[in-house]
Amino acid sequence: MYAIVEIAGQQFKVETGKRIFVHRLPEEKEADIEFDKVLLVEDVGKILVGEPFIKDYIVAGHVLDHVKGDKVIVFKKKRKKGYRVKNGHRQNFTQVEITGIGEKGNLIRQSPKKVKERASELPAEEITVTEKKSSAGKGTSKKAVEKPAGTAEEKGKKTTAKKVAEKKPAVKKSSKSKE
């Protein structure tokens, strides 16, 4: 089940247990909030579309923290005039965890702790050991460990291995003079 909801002038696709960052909200940290501007709700193939909002549907959330976003550099320049201005800006955000989606009277909320418990109950990925034959074909085998999902390689981060350069023998060039 998911919903499209309007929060602080922006639209977000939300699901129960999902954490989102929205523009700074006036609510205090650890407060429960409700969003009533629900534009669309999908539940097991059944889709409700609002005109513009769905009446009697709400999305419940829990304010986790107030944070600042990444720094954005604003640089202005006018050529040939010597005018340069450099400013930085960090946007204020509120981190909200969605605790429930549903009708006003029938909303089933899940506390953030229960959502965390449910996430921890998921089976952990196992590390398996497989044997690979070496490319030399000498019959020796090397053991390779398959890494679980979520490693640096799967997340798109590049891992670099240092290569050892072979030293070349120093060769003296003999200088032959023309006679």
Q: What digits encode the pLDDT tens for the residues 6-60?
A: 999 999 999 999 999 999 999 999 999 999 999 999 988 889 898 999 998 999 9
Amino acid at 88: G
Q: How far apart are CA 106 and CA 109, in angstroms?
A: 10
The winner for highest mean pLDDT among 37-51, 62-76, 134-148 is 62-76
- As a whole number, mean pLDDT of residues 95-123 equals 72
* Token pair 């696709």: residue: 13
| Measured CA angle at 60 (ends 54, 66), to 5 deg | 125
- Least confident piece of the model among 41-50, 75-84, 92-101: 41-50
Q: Is 136's pLDDT higher than 90?
A: no
CB 10 within 8 A of CB 20: no
Task: Give the model's confidence band at 116: pLDDT under 50 very low, under 70 low, under 90 confident, else very high.
Answer: low
pLDDT at 121: 59
Residue 12's CB: how many other CB atoms inside 10 A? 19
- As a whole number, mean pLDDT of residues 92-98 equals 96
* CA dihedral (33, 36, 40, 45) positive or negative: positive
How many residues are present in the chain?
Answer: 179
Average pLDDT score, the chain = 79
pLDDT above 70 coverage of the chain, percent: 65
Q: Is 124's pLDDT higher than 80?
A: no
pLDDT at 130: 40
pLDDT at 85: 98
Task: Give the model's confidence band at 166: pLDDT under 50 very low, under 70 low, under 90 confident, else very high.
Answer: confident
Amino acid at 96: V
83 or 154: which carries more pLDDT confidence?
Answer: 83
Task: Tell me whether residue 170 is exposed, middle or buried, using C-beta atoms within 10 angstroms of its C-beta: 0 to 12, 13 to 18, 19 or more.
Answer: exposed
pLDDT at 45: 86
Residues in contact with 62: Cβ distance below 8 Å, sequence separation at least 6, in sequence order: 30, 31, 32, 33, 96, 97, 99, 111, 112
- As a whole number, mean pLDDT of residues 115-141 equals 48
Q: Which residues, listed in sequence order, are joined to residue 133 by a DSSP beta bridge?
A: 141
Q: Which residues, listed in sequence order, are joined to residue 83 by a DSSP beta bridge?
A: 78
pLDDT at 156: 59
